[in-house]
Amino acid sequence: MWLARPLLNQILHHLQTVYPQEGCGLVAGLNNQATAIYPIDNILQSETAYEMEPLQQVKTMLAIEARGEDLCAIYHSHPHSPAFPSETDIALAYYPETVYLIISLQERDVPVVRGFLIVDGLVEEIEIVGE
């Protein structure tokens, strides 16, 4: 997946803003290339879990579709744990064609960004490329 530095910086800024809670959002794109970032409120307001605010999520997904783009990634942070899908992340991975970006903020000054495809409980890491 291609994620240009300015878009990654938008994600990181959002996640740092909501720290120590988990932050979450959607990434629009075309042909596996990110084009826009959409932060979504975490209604759980938790340091260990997230749930996107349903109305924001639906409106954003409709806007992405209306622009002729795809949902290319779903992102969230792990404020205190590694950038790897938790059991809950795996169980709630409802979009097998979408990349799950997990950003660890264990070391806030050195975020770790990793991408995964999660299909039927199987986790496969994918390369995140940017400029």
Q: How many helices and strands (H and E) does the chain possess?
A: 3, 6
Burial class (CB in 10 A: 0-12, 13-18, 19+), 127: exposed
Known catalytic residue at 22: yes
Quote the tokens at residue 29: 């794109």
Active site residues: 22
